[in-house]
């Protein structure tokens, strides 16, 4: 098989182009390697990386290399000189085809067994259709000229309940594009004009309702097979499930509780307002077309990511969005305007407005609603074009969205947002953590059906159990509202006793602390009755700034947190950066998997000056308030010994001796550390289990990745066994705390106590409820460690 190599200045651009090409080969084998960017974020090309990619892609039949522009060509040429095998150099073709169109054509050819010469020829020919259309004087005409006598014709009846809307239209367009014939279609019932069947926007604007008759014609050697395949597709209702859907959609199997509380209210789906068009002249047709292509590729990559996290049966809507971004009718319109000296943002806006207006003018309400889809995708590309950031979601009631970024979650107002329902997402994603911090009930992983809920539909959710009901009946809604009233009363009672110690009925006192990321968090923790600060995420001092804070600034901040807590103990975690939290002023080499790379204590030990300054500030603070120093991401005793040596050196530098209240501990986030916790016993006063990362590593499921969100559940028996192993190793040698999100799960609190956990650290609003859960913890808990999965554990705990 001929191999393909993609060379680009941009990693994101290359990944997006590859994703598009892979979509076109429908699961067939394809050998493809990428050499793009100097790293994930830095533009550039590297001849050595290209040579390595060629070697990877060459399976003996040769390699076709596709490049974007400029130095990519020079780097690719140099890469040939770096190949040691002259026979391998002879098998490489540097192809002058445009990257995106060429790669799509080349992928299809290679996947179907073409040799390298044919693959390169197909790639170059990928531009022919565009050149032909841009060179005509009828570029902006909407009707298709008569092609002469077609080679095949047929008529079929639309059986889909909503007619030929976006999803079935997308299937028709895909079939027509892959047929190898020139296919056109018209609505016989309405006597519409003929339109190209390869254009999603032109097909959808036929206004084809259920039971309308459509004529289809094709020209070329493949005309008859093309018509037959389209007729077969129509007979299958374009692979759409035509069974009537229930009025209220049901939550999917991946539904998970994410933030406790009851939420009821009207559904609102945030839609970004259209960004203002900049009043600037064109920079020239070539430059403006390049800007548009870059924006389209960026948005295409975003949609591909969302599609990859959606079950196959529900992914058709995203296929329609992708086809819209590649629609010849729409793109030719926009590029034609660019050729007439219009800037790319204005050209794109005008072209998409024309398509959206055509949808809106149709007499079918379902098709009229598709105008909103066009405008949403159009706005997404427009923002990418002008570099505009999306505005925070605002609304009243229950927010329904595909997912929620931390920035979007941070902007939500608990006074107006009664609840959150996410189609994707994970309970341990940062957006969900922020929702809990704000006290907004949330359920995640409900599935894409949630996005079909009409705005204004009543929604009821329970963020503790994961229940979601769309359009509930009066009795169901009354039950949710009663639960909300009961929980409000319960929270008031809990808040009234929050300052008191939390002791179980059997006499075990559990310290309940707060997870903090600012002085304001510390004030909220004090108001909610925190016994101490169980986790101060010190990285908030180091992120989003051009240089690190000095010792004095760090000490002043730590003292302010201690003061807000009236001198209670504060647990200061040393920097937990790396992975998904890089520091811009500490360059780090690119890593293929940063979450398994230099992060936490590994990053600090590799940057001793940074660690030294931080420990010095902590020791100074400990002169006047109880301080616990906590080292994150400990995996080995060697790491802990090195960290303690650095702490001893900081103590010596202050010249005041070891502060009386200074304690030392570690975070248990790595499964190996949990299983050998006894190894650390002689060197620590406490261990705090970070269940978010412990779950991520134990389940091999990145907690921010919605496609594996159902695996990232801290109640999995395997994770619980790691917690039990840590507690067993601790005995009376050191205290075990939990500072991950599992600590805030009131249903799980009795289980954690039974396992041996003696401290819990949660977000400030969760403190009163967790203390009440401690006070009401039963003397015995169900034996859940042998249950099969997290769902079974949760069901047992909720009984």
What are the domain boundaries of the chain? 3-126, 152-239, 256-270+393-493, 285-386, 500-798
Q: Which of 175-184, 535-544, 644-653 has the highest mean pLDDT?
A: 644-653
Is a pLDDT exceeding 70 seen at residue 129?
Answer: no
Residue 476: exposed, middle, or buried by beta-carbon count in 10 A (0-12, 13-18, 19+)? Answer: middle
Mean pLDDT in residue range 1-10: 91
Residues classed as catalytic: 430, 739
Residue 767 and residue 530 in contact, taking contact as beta carbons nearer than 8 Å: yes
CATH 3.90.550.10 applies to domain 500-798 = no
pLDDT number for residue 592? 73
How far does CA 405 lie from the centroid of its chain? 8
pLDDT-based confidence at residue 147 (cuts at 50, 70, 90): low
Closest CA to 6 of 57, 42, 43, 48: 57
Rounded to an integer, what distance in angstroms lies between the CA atom of residue 786 and that of residue 33?
44
Residue 30 and residue 107 in contact, taking contact as beta carbons nearer than 8 Å: yes
Mean pLDDT in residue range 271-293: 83
Going across the sheet that includes 195-196, the strands are 152-157, 213-219, 182-187, 195-196
Mean pLDDT in residue range 691-719: 85
Residues 6+ apart with CB under 8 A from 232: none
Mean pLDDT in residue range 204-217: 87
Residue 799 and residue 792 in contact, taking contact as beta carbons nearer than 8 Å: no
Is a pLDDT exceeding 60 seen at residue 298?
Answer: yes
CATH topology classification for 285-386: Enzyme I; Chain A, domain 2 (1.10.274)
Is a pLDDT exceeding 50 seen at residue 441?
Answer: yes
Is a pLDDT exceeding 50 seen at residue 365?
Answer: no
Mean pLDDT in residue range 482-502: 90
The domain 3-126 is placed in CATH, from the list 1.20.120.450, 3.40.50.510, 1.10.1060.10, 3.30.365.10, at 3.40.50.510
> From the CB of residue 708, how many other CB atoms can be counted at a distance below 10 Å?
17
> From the CB of residue 2, how many other CB atoms can be counted at a distance below 10 Å?
27
Sign of the alpha-carbon torsion through 355, 361, 365, 367:
negative
Q: Residue 578 half-sphere exposure, CB side, CA atoms within 13 Å?
A: 25
Residue 500 and residue 529 in contact, taking contact as beta carbons nearer than 8 Å: yes
Closest CA to 141 of 220, 207, 202: 202
pLDDT number for residue 245? 43
Token representation of residue 581: 């939290």
Burial 250-282 (b: 16+ CB within 10 A, else e): ebbebbbbbbbbbbbbebbbeebeebeeeeeeb
Q: What is the pLDDT of residues 407-433, one digit of tens each?
A: 577 778 888 999 999 887 777 666 777
pLDDT number for residue 725? 97
pLDDT number for residue 133? 42
Residues of the chain with pLDDT > 90: what percent? 45
The domain 152-239 is placed in CATH, from the list 3.20.20.100, 3.30.1340.10, 3.30.450.20, 3.40.50.720, at 3.30.1340.10
Residue that wins the pLDDT comparison between 127 and 157: 157
Q: What is the pLDDT of residues 627-638, one digit of tens each?
A: 999 999 999 999
Is a pLDDT exceeding 90 seen at residue 540?
Answer: no
Is a pLDDT exceeding 80 seen at residue 504?
Answer: yes
Mean pLDDT in residue range 55-66: 90
Residues of the chain with pLDDT > 70: what percent? 87
Residue 344 and residue 322 in contact, taking contact as beta carbons nearer than 8 Å: no
pLDDT number for residue 379? 80
pLDDT number for residue 312? 37
For 103-153, what is the HEC assignment? HHHHHHHHHCCCCHHHHHHHHHHCCHHHHHHHCCCCCCCCCCCCCCCCCEE
Q: H-helix or E-strand containing 514? A: strand 509-516
The domain 256-270+393-493 is placed in CATH, from the list 3.40.50.720, 3.50.30.10, 3.40.50.970, 3.40.190.10, at 3.50.30.10
Q: Is 745 helix (H, G, I), strand (E, B) or coil?
A: coil
Residue that wins the pLDDT comparison between 140 and 446: 446
Is a pLDDT exceeding 50 seen at residue 246?
Answer: no
pLDDT number for residue 509? 96
What's phi and psi for 440, nearest 5 deg?
Answer: -95, 120
Residues 6+ apart with CB under 8 A from 629: 572, 574, 615, 618, 647, 662, 663, 664, 665
Q: Is 263 helix (H, G, I), strand (E, B) or coil?
A: strand
Residues making up the chain, counted from first to last: 799
Sign of the alpha-carbon torsion through 788, 463, 510, 659:
positive
Sign of the alpha-carbon torsion through 788, 791, 797, 798:
negative
pLDDT number for residue 480? 93
pLDDT number for residue 163? 83
pLDDT number for residue 160? 87
Is a pLDDT exceeding 90 seen at residue 574?
Answer: yes
pLDDT number for residue 199? 79
What's phi and psi for 187, nearest 5 deg?
Answer: -95, 105
Tell me if domain 152-239 and domain 285-386 are identical in fold.
no
Mean pLDDT in residue range 48-66: 90
Rounded to an integer, what distance in angstroms lies between the CA atom of residue 168 and that of residue 648?
68
Burial 517-536 (b: 16+ CB within 10 A, else e): bbbebbbbbbebbbbbbbbb
pLDDT number for residue 417? 93
């Amino acid at each position: 098989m001929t191999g393909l190599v993609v060379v680009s200045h941009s990693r994101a651009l290359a990944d997006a182009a590859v994703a598009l090409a892979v979509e076109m080969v429908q699961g067939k084998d394809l050998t493809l390697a990428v050499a793009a960017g100097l790293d994930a974020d830095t533009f550039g090309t590297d001849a050595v990386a290209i040579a390595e990619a060629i070697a990877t892609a060459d399976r003996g039949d040769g390699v076709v290399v596709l490049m974007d522009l400029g130095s990519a060509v020079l780097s690719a040429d140099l890469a040939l000189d770096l190949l040691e095998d002259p026979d391998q150099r002879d098998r490489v073709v540097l192809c002058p085809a445009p990257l995106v169109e060429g790669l799509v054509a080349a992928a299809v050819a290679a996947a179907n067994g073409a040799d390298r010469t044919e693959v390169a020829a197909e790639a170059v020919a990928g531009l022919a259709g565009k050149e032909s259309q841009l060179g005509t004087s009828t570029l902006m005409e909407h009707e298709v000229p008569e092609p002469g006598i077609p080679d095949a014709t047929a008529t079929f009846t639309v059986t889909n309940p909503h007619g030929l809307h976006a999803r079935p239209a997308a299937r028709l367009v895909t079939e027509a594009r892959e047929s190898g014939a020139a296919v056109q279609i018209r609505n016989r019932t309405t006597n519409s004009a003929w339109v190209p069947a390869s254009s999603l926007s032109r097909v959808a604007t036929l206004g084809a309702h259920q039971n309308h008759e459509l004529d289809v014609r094709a020209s070329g050697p493949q005309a008859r097979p093309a018509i037959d395949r389209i007729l077969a597709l129509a007979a299958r209702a374009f692979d759409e499930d035509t069974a009537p859907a229930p009025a209220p959609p049901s939550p999917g199997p991946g539904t998970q509780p994410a933030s406790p509380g009851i939420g009821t209210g009207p559904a609102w789906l945030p839609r970004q307002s259209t960004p203002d068009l900049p009043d600037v002249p064109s920079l020239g047709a070539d430059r403006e077309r390049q800007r548009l292509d870059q924006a389209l590729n960026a948005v295409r990559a975003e949609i591909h990511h969302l599609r990859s996290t959606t079950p196959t049966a529900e992914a058709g809507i995203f296929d329609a969005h992708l086809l819209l971004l590649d629609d010849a009718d729409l793109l030719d319109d926009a590029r034609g305007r660019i050729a007439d000296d219009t800037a790319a943002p204005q050209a794109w806006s005008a072209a998409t407005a024309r398509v959206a207006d055509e949808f809106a003018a149709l007499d079918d309400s379902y098709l009229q609603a598709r105008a909103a889809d066009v405008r949403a995708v159009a706005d997404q590309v427009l923002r990418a074009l002008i570099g505009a950031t999306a505005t925070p979601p605002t609304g009243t009631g229950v927010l329904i969205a595909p997912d929620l970024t931390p920035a979007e979650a941070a902007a939500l107002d608990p006074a107006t947002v009664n609840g959150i329902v996410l189609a994707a997402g994970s309970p341990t994603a940062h957006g969900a953590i922020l929702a809990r911090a704000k006290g907004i009930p949330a359920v995640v992983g409900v599935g894409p059906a949630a996005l079909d809920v009409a705005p204004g539909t009543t929604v009821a959710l329970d963020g503790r159990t994961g229940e979601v009901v769309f359009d509930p009946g009066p009795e169901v809604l009354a039950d949710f509202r009663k639960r909300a009233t009961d929980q409000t009363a319960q929270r008031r009672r809990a808040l009234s006793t929050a300052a008191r110690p939390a002791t179980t009925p059997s006499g075990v006192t559990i310290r309940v602390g707060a997870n903090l990321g600012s002085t304001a968090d510390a004030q909220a923790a004090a108001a909610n009755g925190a016994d101490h600060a169980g986790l101060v995420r010190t990285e908030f001092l180091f992120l989003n700034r051009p240089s690190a804070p000095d010792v004095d600034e760090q000490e002043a901040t730590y003292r302010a947190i201690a003061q807000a807590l009236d001198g209670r103990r504060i647990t200061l975690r040393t920097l937990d950066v790396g992975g998904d939290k890089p520091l811009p002023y500490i360059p780090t080499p690119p890593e293929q998997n940063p979450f398994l790379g230099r992060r936490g204590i590994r990053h600090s030990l590799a940057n001793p000056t940074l660690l030294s300054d931080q420990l010095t500030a902590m020791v100074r603070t400990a002169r006047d308030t109880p301080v616990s120093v906590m080292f994150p991401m400990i995996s080995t005793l060697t790491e802990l010994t090195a960290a303690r040596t650095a702490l001893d050196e900081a103590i010596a530098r202050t010249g005041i001796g070891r502060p009386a209240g200074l304690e030392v501990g570690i975070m248990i986030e790595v499964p190996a550390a949990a299983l050998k916790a006894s190894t650390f016993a002689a060197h620590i006063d406490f261990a705090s289990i970070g269940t978010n990362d412990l779950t991520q590593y134990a389940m091999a499921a990145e907690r921010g990745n919605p496609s594996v969100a159902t695996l990232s559940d801290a109640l999995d028996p395997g994770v619980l066994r790691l917690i039990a192993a840590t507690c067993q190793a601790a005995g009376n040698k050191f205290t075990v705390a939990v500072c991950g999100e599992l600590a805030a799960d009131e249903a799980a609190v009795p289980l954690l106590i039974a396992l041996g956990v003696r401290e819990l650290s949660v977000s400030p609003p969760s403190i009163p409820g967790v203390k009440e859960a401690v006070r009401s913890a039963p003397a015995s808990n169900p034996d859940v460690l042998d249950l099969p999965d997290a769902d079974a554990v949760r069901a047992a705990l909720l009984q």
